[in-house]
Chain A
């Protein structure tokens, strides 16, 4: 006989402002299974929880319903509460009368009716709940970090320093990510390479870190503590075990016109090369699209020059399976192509560059060795215009969101420009200046006050190429309220930060969610900023949303802390919501097998019959087999037909 205790929370005025809680208590209190019903201002508070625990003892309750916020918020809280009071933690149900009632209903009468109905269903449901035991699983204490940018490196180093093994996967030939492409960093003008490359080297030399360059995640199986990851290494045509990174192959390669991706398309590189001198690992790769041997079966100069014989033109993509307990996703972002902004000539005018291209142009490791000149004629630009929000804050052609970093990197670019061209004039066309970080506002002021950078408030309408090779930027000054045009030698577009082109594919492979813009979704925007909704998978850096370096590093460390905390236990509990087969009812049709995404259903022989059997360790509890079984021989703990139908009925 169920003796249900019902505890209805006011949540301050969040619920009580719309729902007449006393009336709900009264109505629910008359339900046959309800042995006790009460209300309290904040049920999740310490006194609120004590109220629940005391009532269990005092009234001999064996089932609990808490009507409050979403179970996503506080179900674990109350599960612990009732467990402390001696009840099985699965004999509880939560009625979501805040997110799904008081917060979305304007009418008080209707809200009270709906809340009553929601609570009534949970009372009926919980009466059918069975006590369940958590499943204990071993934790594989190796972490996988996806992405070798600064966020991923930070996460890998912190986990490795904590004594756990890390597999650091990077899709490009070298660690470093976007930060390696930067010249200097705001707001201190630290040299980006100088602060990043020591970390790259440390990661490469760390006894607990294994680096997999040129590698991507292909498939993920398993669950928290026990993931099985299938990695795929691209064909690089260079055996990294034999290569001694002497660089002779690159100097011998006759193909000299390969667009240089590391230099954001400015400048050329060879068909076999390392992306940049400080690359980690320093192993060159062959670009199969340009290599003469691979495209036309000619040449082979690199192979002839290579003393250790590391060149292998027969190289194929290779798969590798690794077992890990946790995953940090730190795959970063890409700079939006300004090609859709034809009015700015982003992809067509040679001296209209993106922010990242400008960064390469002023960098000492860039295509000009750090000499700031126009790509069109090699002349020093005496006037430069920076155009803000190209693709950001522009839902019509780009993205609705603010890219967050452009205001600051443009202030930095204007300073770098003045350091390269002291007699030049820089303009910044902006909508708003957003500089909320530590010392950020002062940094923008420095550009304005010390270097006379002129900030013009208004969205640029057009960039027009003139016959004399200069560019006329048409904009307006909204502070004075008049149109403005500036003749410039170079124009730099602050192209938006956007998710990588393959961000959705990766999310689907990992089973994590992403928002409408394509950025990965954190489990809770405030309280779980590095967790995903999938246990054991954490986020770091700009794959979760536009971020600058300090924020990416912080999130990398935060994700590492989460991983280390997970790895502090040898075993962890897995929710007991798994399917099971009633062998007596199973007819052995095995229709359940093909619908199981996790291959958790096997054949079993019982006497002379073949029946289905669910391997509990593999089952993730989706219930696809349950609704497929025509004979109703499969049950999903926690979501049995009895429980779900009680809610449907009500």
Chain B
């Protein structure tokens, strides 16, 4: 596989995207292989987005929203959590390690945490390597 695993970051606009901005403002560097996509709320995330990411060749998907209880829209992050729990099992079914999906909460004040999450997830994906991915992608694409 590539030297750096490719990560798609689906971040909610209010907490985690702002947390990623704060990581930048504070210059907490992290691996450059994370591509961030802003969604209004983690509740907007459709599991299909995650599967699409894998078929497009990403090695991992990072999903981050507001901490429980802190959702700007009240309960969106709880819906995200439920949907992603199902998505994990579907990933397993098609032969993709569910560890390739990283679900966490990062607040607007947690720039350091965001940076740490990116580094940690990159390391995890390096450990996982790229073998199962090819077969899995074919499975999803069929």
Which residues of chain A have a CB within 8 Å of any CB of chain B? 70-72, 96, 98-101, 103-107, 110-111, 113-114, 117-118, 121, 504, 507-508, 511, 513-516, 521, 533-534, 577, 595, 597-598, 620-624, 626-628, 636, 638-639, 641, 644-645, 647-650
Contacts of A98 in B (CB 8 A): 24
Min CB distance A456 to B, Å, is 35
> Contact check: which of A107, A516, A622 meets B109 at CB < 8 Å?
A516
Structural contact, A104 and B28, CB atoms closer than 8 A:
yes
Structural contact, A110 and B27, CB atoms closer than 8 A:
no
Query: 7 nearest interchain CB pairs?
Result: A623-B44, A99-B24, A622-B73, A624-B43, A597-B74, A103-B24, A622-B41
Min CB distance A473 to B, Å, is 37
Q: Which of B28, B32, B83, B109 has the most CB of A within 10 A?
A: B32
Residue of A nearest to B25 (CB): A99
Q: Does B53 interact with chain A (Cβ within 8 Å)?
A: yes
Min CB distance A112 to B, Å, is 10
CA of A71 to CA of B18, assembled, Å: 10
Structural contact, A645 and B25, CB atoms closer than 8 A:
no
CA of A515 to CA of B18, assembled, Å: 13
Contacts of B38 in A (CB 8 A): 71
Contacts of A507 in B (CB 8 A): 70
Answer whether A648 and B8 are a contact pair too, CB < 8 Å, given A98-B24, A511-B72, A623-B39: yes
27 A-B residue pairs with Cβ-Cβ distance under 8 Å, sorted by A, are A70-B24, A99-B21, A99-B25, A101-B24, A104-B23, A104-B29, A107-B32, A113-B32, A114-B32, A118-B35, A511-B73, A513-B66, A513-B72, A516-B110, A597-B74, A598-B73, A622-B44, A623-B39, A623-B40, A624-B73, A626-B46, A627-B45, A636-B40, A639-B39, A639-B40, A644-B44, A645-B52
CA of A121 to CA of B38, assembled, Å: 12
Q: Which of A72, A98, A627 has the most CB of B within 10 A?
A: A627
CA of A648 to CA of B18, assembled, Å: 19
Contacts of B30 in A (CB 8 A): 104
Answer whether A627 and B20 are a contact pair too, CB < 8 Å, given A105-B29, A105-B32, A648-B49: no
Min CB distance A27 to B, Å, is 16
Answer whether A595 and B20 are a contact pair too, CB < 8 Å, given A106-B29, A513-B70, A648-B37: no
Answer whether A648 and B72 are a contact pair too, CB < 8 Å, given A118-B35, A513-B15: no
Contacts of A504 in B (CB 8 A): 69
Residue of A nearest to B66 (CB): A513
Min CB distance B122 to A, Å, is 13
Q: Does B135 interact with chain A (Cβ within 8 Å)?
A: no
Within 8 A of A (CB), among B103-117: 107-110, 115
Residue of B nearest to A113 (CB): B32
Q: Which of B30, B39, B56 has the most CB of A within 10 A?
A: B39
CA of A620 to CA of B44, assembled, Å: 12
Q: Does B14 interact with chain A (Cβ within 8 Å)?
A: yes
B41-77 interface code vs A (CB 8 A; 1 in, 0 out): 1011111010011001000000000100111111110
Structural contact, B18 and A597, CB atoms closer than 8 A:
no
Structural contact, B20 and A103, CB atoms closer than 8 A:
no
CA of A52 to CA of B57, assembled, Å: 35
Contacts of B44 in A (CB 8 A): 622-624, 626-627, 636, 639, 644
Q: Does B94 interact with chain A (Cβ within 8 Å)?
A: no
CA of A381 to CA of B18, assembled, Å: 52
CA of A107 to CA of B70, assembled, Å: 35
Contacts of A597 in B (CB 8 A): 73-76
Contacts of B33 in A (CB 8 A): 114
Answer whether A121 and B35 are a contact pair too, CB < 8 Å, given A100-B24, A103-B24: yes
Min CB distance B97 to A, Å, is 20
Extra contacts, 9 of them, besides A101-B24, A513-B14, A623-B76 (Cβ < 8 A), are A72-B17, A96-B21, A96-B36, A104-B28, A513-B72, A622-B43, A636-B44, A648-B49, A649-B52
Answer whether A644 and B43 are a contact pair too, CB < 8 Å, given A104-B115, A513-B109: no
Min CB distance A170 to B, Å, is 25
Min CB distance B9 to A, Å, is 9
Contacts of B18 in A (CB 8 A): 72, 533
Residue of A nearest to B58 (CB): A648
Min CB distance B107 to A, Å, is 6
Structural contact, B70 and A111, CB atoms closer than 8 A:
no
B contacts with A, residue count (CB < 8 A): 49
Contacts of A622 in B (CB 8 A): 40-41, 43-44, 72-73, 76
Structural contact, A644 and B39, CB atoms closer than 8 A:
yes
CA of A577 to CA of B38, assembled, Å: 14
Min CB distance B3 to A, Å, is 10
Residue of B nearest to A519 (CB): B109
> Contact check: which of B23, B29, B40, B83 meets A577 at CB < 8 Å?
B40
Answer whether A627 and B43 are a contact pair too, CB < 8 Å, given A104-B27, A117-B35, A516-B110: yes
Min CB distance B101 to A, Å, is 14
CA of A527 to CA of B115, assembled, Å: 24
CA of A315 to CA of B110, assembled, Å: 45
Contacts of A515 in B (CB 8 A): 107, 109
Contacts of B24 in A (CB 8 A): 70, 98-101, 103-104
CA of A72 to CA of B74, assembled, Å: 21
Min CB distance B37 to A, Å, is 4
> Contact check: which of A598, A623, A626, A644 meets B37 at CB < 8 Å?
A644
Structural contact, A627 and B32, CB atoms closer than 8 A:
no
CA of A604 to CA of B37, assembled, Å: 34
Residue of B nearest to A629 (CB): B46
Structural contact, B79 and A648, CB atoms closer than 8 A:
no
Contacts of A70 in B (CB 8 A): 21, 24
Residue of B nearest to A627 (CB): B46
Residue of B nearest to A112 (CB): B32
CA of A504 to CA of B68, assembled, Å: 12
CA of A636 to CA of B76, assembled, Å: 15
CA of A515 to CA of B108, assembled, Å: 8
Contacts of A628 in B (CB 8 A): 79
Residue of A nearest to B68 (CB): A508
Structural contact, A647 and B109, CB atoms closer than 8 A:
no
Q: Which of A117, A118, A641, A647 has the most CB of B within 10 A?
A: A647
Residue of B nearest to A597 (CB): B74
CA of A105 to CA of B36, assembled, Å: 14
Min CB distance A289 to B, Å, is 29
Min CB distance A102 to B, Å, is 8
Contacts of B23 in A (CB 8 A): 99, 104
Residue of B nearest to A517 (CB): B109
Structural contact, A534 and B53, CB atoms closer than 8 A:
no
CA of A515 to CA of B111, assembled, Å: 11
